[in-house]
Structure 1
Amino acid sequence: MESTSAGENIAVLRKTRDISQAQLGRAAGLSVSYVSKIETGLRPVTPAVAAACAKAMNVTTARIYGQPYRDRSQTEVERLDALRTAVRRHTLPKEDVPDPKTLAADVKRAAHLRAEAEYLELLDILPTLLGRATATAFAAGGDAVAWGQVADLYGCAYAVAHRLGEPDLADMIVSRQQWAAHQTWNPDAEAAASWNEAGTYQSAGHYDDGLTIVDRAIVQYERGGGSEPSHAVVLGSLHLRGVVLASRHKDAAATEAHLTRARDLAAKLPQKKDTLLHNLTFGTGNTALYELAAHIELERPDQAVSMATPLQKKPPAGLKPSRIGRLHIDVARARLAIGDVAGAEDSLKAAFKVAPEMSELHPMCREVVRVLFVMHQRTRPELMAMARRVGLTD
């Protein structure tokens, strides 16, 4: 399969617009040397760089990254089409109302698959499950639990669409999640929907708008949020989303403000491990992972590396593969930034081991692999294998 990287896509888009590297650099706030290095694969295209280049050339960040990265199998295409149909028919479910216990178990299984980063298996069950949950909610009227299940399933669907590189579908799913959350008074579901809405702005590189969504959701939730511990989990997760958006926006003060609030909320949780609620994971462990990632976005990779060893050696309790895999990818980014090529490769191997599907699809995993591949590492069999898995080579 022929595949292009983010840097190659930037070069092609720049040339087709008859823009020089100097012109792109000025528009995106990058040096000519940096533009040259990302185009040739000597530096990774970070989220902030992708956003800046996308804005400068009036394209989407998905186009910069070349999503989706791989040819779809016929089965995957059919599953995605089925999900689109289910999302489109959100008020017209074709499925019957199932047994309540069976539905509850299936919703729990969907949340488990999302947390385990088993996206293709989750995609297989979502269309029918969404229909059954929606039929149940309509039959139950304004029941908060029933509509909360629908909202949670849309949260799972968002994760699938986001990771499979389908931004338009992800946007539509978020609107459906908000619709479900608004069918009854359910502040937790509404906040979870806002968390994903801010995620669509994050994916598009519109970090300031995403921060506005987060700040508005925090104010609204604080006015009428749920009881502990759900209050701390939901509110803390919103602050963690704020950490990502603020750090990518290069706003160190806002990053620290969201981190401080997240730490305070995490300290209020009675249990010693992170909690998963409404597809939101929160606690001291996940807060530490977000802090590490923020150091990278704020160009402090040495601080990220100093945090990495204890977190990788003994990952915080309660964190699922989707979060641990992301930890290893972030550490790979940090180690590459300080010139630790071997350490970056080891971290990538750990990511593929704990969360293979996510690692194959994650833009920054792909970017670190690409840089290592270009840096005269082609003879390393394990690196070659990773390059094939992310679609960088046949």
Structure 2
Amino acid sequence: MESAPAPGENIAVLRKARGLAQAKLARAAGISVSYLSKIEVGTRPVTPPVVAALAKAMRVPTQRIYGQPFLGPSEQADLLNDLRSAVRRYTLPREDVPAPEQLAADVARAMQLRAETNYLELLGMLPKLLGQATATALSAASGEAGAWTQVVDVYGCAYAAAHRLAQPDLADMIVSRQTWAARQTWNPEAEVAAAWNEAGTYQSAGQYEDGLAIVERAVIQYERASDRTPARSSVYLGSLHLRGVVLASREKDEQATAAHLRKAKLHAEGIPHDVLRHNLTFGQENTALYELAAHIELGKPNKAAEMADPLLKRPPTTLTPNRLGRMYIDMARARLDTRNYSGTEEALERAFRIAPQMTEVHPMAREVVRVLFVLHQRARPKLMEMAKRTGLTL
């Protein structure tokens, strides 16, 4: 992991390069000068909605603020370049068609690696797997729908890796390819998976209103689909509403957040044990985690902390590491906002334990670690280790 400036440092550099005083930038972003000052010096974490507001005010993409914590002459960069090349030639796969049972096994393995947040191993297999899955679909008689669904699932894994490793341009390209493949499937569930990721690209860019429009459109299209499976509908509609919860809460729209959360809970009533389909996780436990995160985004960290305490004592048992890791990161953020610093560190430790590769590069995990470090926590060896793992400039 290579060192990179923290978002606060990037904000200060970009602001000064544009000749903006703190007061002018803070006013344009809708935050206080005091808050902006604390972000720049590292005593307050910068949240995704604030990043979006600052990026818009300075006319830069959000990734210019987050930075690239792991790029350079590294294994990750090489693997990402290989994936980028494979995605670019999406209609020109160089790979041969594998045996059906081998392809199915490899797709299942990729989906497992994604759920486990094992991004390095996943990146290692994705370029070849994308080519093989696409070659199979292109050669299938009459464009067999099941073969194209496999392509959609592999692109879903690729999106997760590109998104988590802070490659927004690659993530955008992957989503366009996934949408293209989904349209060949005649499978409304595959189209939901693609729409879920498409909304995610708007979420990453801080364009929450547009992301909500994607969600609403996908809900309407799926509900109109005559060939959707009634018994499975709740998983896909519920997943879309969970994406809506994130987007609406970051937009600070409490009414829309409550509406999406209410609908998600209704769909989750019959799914006590979370299921994973087409890279979408849904059920009562995952819905609770989205509710916790929404409280944080809406400026209610005390409510989030109240939800976090019992979840820490009895963690969900049916969720994959990528969801559990995100849960612990959100818990750490809530505890930081309530000045429970020892509890913050405890939650971060669990995130590193359950989903190390995701936690090392997750923007909010890095921000929480950075703020803890700045707040006179340098003598804590576990925190020092976490700071090193996130590649922070110390």
State TM-score, norm by structure 2. 0.97
Q: How does 1:1-394 map to 2 (within 5 A)?
A: 1-66=2-67, 68-140=68-140, 141-224=142-225, 226-269=228-271, 272-393=272-393
Whether contact under 8 Å (1:82, 1:127) holds in the other structure is yes
- The alpha-carbon deviation at position 183 of structure 1 amounts to 1.2
SS in 2 for 1:276: strand
Looking at structure 2, the residues matched to 7 and 137 of structure 1 have their Cα atoms a distance apart, in angstroms, of 46
Looking at structure 2, the residues matched to 5 and 198 of structure 1 have their Cα atoms a distance apart, in angstroms, of 26
- The alpha-carbon deviation at position 177 of structure 1 amounts to 0.1
Q: RMSD of aligned C-alpha atoms?
A: 1.1
- The alpha-carbon deviation at position 254 of structure 1 amounts to 0.3
- The alpha-carbon deviation at position 228 of structure 1 amounts to 3.8
SS in 2 for 1:124: helix
Task: Provide closer, same or farther for how the CA distance between residues 283 and 2 of structure 1 changes in structure 2, counting only shifts above 3 A.
Answer: closer
| Residue type at the aligned position of 1:250 | K
Task: Detail structure 1 runs of 4+ shifted over 3 Å in the superposition.
Answer: 71-75
Whether contact under 8 Å (2:6, 2:393) holds in the other structure is no
Whether contact under 8 Å (1:158, 1:196) holds in the other structure is yes
SS in 2 for 1:347: helix
Whether contact under 8 Å (1:230, 1:277) holds in the other structure is no
State TM-score, norm by structure 1. 0.97
Whether contact under 8 Å (1:232, 1:265) holds in the other structure is yes
Deviations 1:82-141 (A, max 9, x none): 111111111111111111111111100000000000011000000000111111111113
| Residue type at the aligned position of 2:42 | G
SS in 1 for 2:281: strand
Looking at structure 2, the residues matched to 133 and 2 of structure 1 have their Cα atoms a distance apart, in angstroms, of 36
- The alpha-carbon deviation at position 78 of structure 1 amounts to 2.4
SS in 1 for 2:143: coil
Identity %, equivalent residues: 64
Aligned residues: 391
| Residue type at the aligned position of 1:374 | V
- The alpha-carbon deviation at position 315 of structure 1 amounts to 2.2
- The alpha-carbon deviation at position 79 of structure 1 amounts to 1.6
Whether contact under 8 Å (2:71, 2:77) holds in the other structure is no
Whether contact under 8 Å (2:305, 2:331) holds in the other structure is yes
- The alpha-carbon deviation at position 234 of structure 1 amounts to 1.0
Looking at structure 1, the residues matched to 71 and 79 of structure 2 have their Cα atoms a distance apart, in angstroms, of 14
